[in-house]
Amino acid sequence: MKTLRHLALMGLFLSLLFSAAGAKAELVSLQTGEPVVGKITEARSDGIIMETYSGSRLWIGWDRMFEGDAARLKREWGLVVDPREDAILIPGTRLVMKDGLELTGIVVREDQQLLVLKTQTGSNRIPHDRIERREDSTVNALLVFSPGEIVDQRRKETQASTPAELFGLAIFAQKVGAFRHAKALLSEVVAGDPDFQPTAIQSQLEALELLIADQSLLETAERILSHHRSGQIDRAIEALTQLVAEQPDSPLIADLKRRGVSIDKLNAYQQGLQVKRVSKAWFLELQDAITAVARDRELTLQEAQQMVARSVEETVIQAIAAKLGIEGTEVAELFQERAKVSKYVGDYGSGTYLVVKLPKRKRSRNTPSRQQGGRRGGRNGQGQRSTRQRRTPKRPAEEWWAQMDLPAKRRYLTAYYAEKSKSVELVREERPKCSRCGGRGFRIVFSPGSGSNTQVVCDRCYGIKYDKRVIFR
């Protein structure tokens, strides 16, 4: 499949070298070995008319062409109906799978459990128990092997060694698109026998130089597209920059731009990818850094809060800079360009009383004074038993911190970071009810001795009634 795509790109590039819209460039090898490159303007039963690079028009009869080129062009121009005439057929294997799928290719390896079938889509590992039927078949080599592999195999089979044999193999290499192999073979002919068809070989070498240069450009363009598709934008930018520097007027550059691949667009795309990488890494590194602080049993709450507020962010930035190979200042700038879509949560939990101040309660006008029966344990103005409230002393902050487990400490420090950091954005604050008092701020305890109810301030939220949870991004 890669070979076919490459040959298709080759045709596209050569066609761009002609001004006429839709013109297709062709390489035609004559029986003498001389190559002719140009566009075919007309094909008849006895031959073709070709317009060359220089603008001249040539009449070439079918009997003057290399037979492989003649068969291919006849088929392309609708002068033959047998598509197998131009194919390079080799022995292969056809597999009919139990699910009805059919695969045709070359078996390159086989053992008791499975076989490896090389097809136009790549190498497929197929267990024997999936195969319903296996048959001998023929395969077009161009659909399975690269042009270079086909030429190497042909040389191995023919044992080509004489100038005539090597020359014929070079013509075959041009037919399948292995232009570098063709050049190497012709050079080998010249080295072995300088007097063997020197004019034809020199013409062939000159034409091959142009084709190899064009093929190199196509390979560069294909590599750029491959890097772009796989997200390797650095490599795509590097290859495209080199292409622009070496061939600024190449029509491939305009073709790539039409496909949405230009240096400006690649740079913008790379910037977007880098922003995503930094944003994702930031919150992962932040979690790791905060966990490390929360896990340190030697730290007091005050020391842990100071580290989260002052040094954790710097630790995050340096870690990301090292992983991505960029400067710390660039990390901070890229993080500020993030999309701010994903949201994260920090929760003070039972430590909410440490960061939220309880508002002072104002005495209601209806609250009875001591002279009106509002004494502790007494009766109110309506003769009913009064409910007294008993305060609960708050746990010291460091005592609370020492008793918390790692997840609670981590959630607390995450919320603390979110409120102190200038790099993240607070979205909202949530206030779930205290899990102990149900959001009342106290618990009612009946005292049988005095016959009165006592409101005991909740020993978890200490009257605040909720846990403070922060959502940030």
What does the pLDDT look like over 420-437, one tens digit per residue?
A: 999 999 999 999 999 999
Domain match, 338 and 355 both: no
Q: Do residues 393 and 438 touch, judged by C-beta distance below 8 A?
A: no
> Is residue 235 domain-resident?
no
Q: Which of 199-203, 267-271, 319-323 has the highest mean pLDDT?
A: 319-323
Q: Is residue 231 part of a domain?
A: no
In whole angstroms, give the CA distance from residue 134 to residue 97: 9
| Distances, alpha carbon 3 to alpha carbons 24, 111, 201, 202, in Å | 19, 28, 26, 27
Top pLDDT among 40 and 407 is at 407
A 10 A CB-CB count for 178 gives: 25
Mean pLDDT of 164-169: 89
Q: Mean pLDDT, to the nearest integer, of 228-245?
A: 84
CB 175 within 8 A of CB 29: yes
Separation CA 263–CA 240 (nearest Å): 7
Same domain, 363 and 330: no
Of 310, 342, 374, the residue that ends a domain is: 342
Cα separation values, 17 from 69, 248, 249, 447, Å = 21, 15, 11, 101
Task: State both tokens at 427.
Answer: 């979205």
Task: Report the predicted TM-score, pTM, of the whole model to 2 decimal places.
Answer: 0.51
pLDDT, tens only, 400-417: 999 999 999 999 999 999
Locate 318 and state its tokens.
């340096």
- Same domain (yes/no): 34, 180: yes
Which range of residues forms the domain containing residue 417? Answer: 345-472
Predicted local distance difference test score (pLDDT) of residue 372 = 47
Both 319 and 351 in one domain: the answer is: no
- The reply to whether 193 falls in a domain is yes
Give the pLDDT score at 449: 67
Q: Domain for residue 447, yes or no?
A: yes
Nearest of 33, 36, 69, 66 to residue 164 by alpha carbon:
33
User: Band of the pLDDT at 376, cuts 50, 70, 90?
Assistant: very low
Please tell me the total number of residues recorded for the chain in this structure. 473
pLDDT band at 238 (very low <50, low <70, confident <90, very high): confident
Please identify, among 99, 120, 143, the residue that sits at the C-terminal boundary of a domain.
Answer: 143
- Are 150 and 178 in contact, with CB atoms under 8 Å apart? yes
Please report which residue ranges of 177-311 form alpha helices under DSSP H: 179-192, 198-230, 233-246, 251-258, 263-295, 301-310
| 51 lies in the same domain as 92 | no
Predicted local distance difference test score (pLDDT) of residue 389: 62
Mean pLDDT, residues 446-454:
73
DSSP letters along 396-457, please? PHHHHHHH--HHHHHHHHHHHHHHH-SSS-EEEEE-PBPTTTTTSSEEEEEETTTTEEEEEE
Q: Does 365 score more than 70 pLDDT?
A: no
Question: Residue 173 pLDDT > 70, yes or no?
Answer: yes
Place 82 in a pLDDT band, splitting at 50, 70 and 90: very low
- Residue 380, Cα to own-chain centre: how many angstroms? 74
Q: Do both 72 and 94 map to the same domain?
A: no
Average pLDDT value over all residues in the chain: 82
**Distances in Å between the alpha carbon of 307 and those of 278, 289, 299, 414?**
22, 10, 10, 12
Express each pLDDT in 309-354 by its tens digit. 999 999 999 999 999 899 999 999 999 999 888 999 999 999 999 9
Give domain status of residue 149, yes or no: no
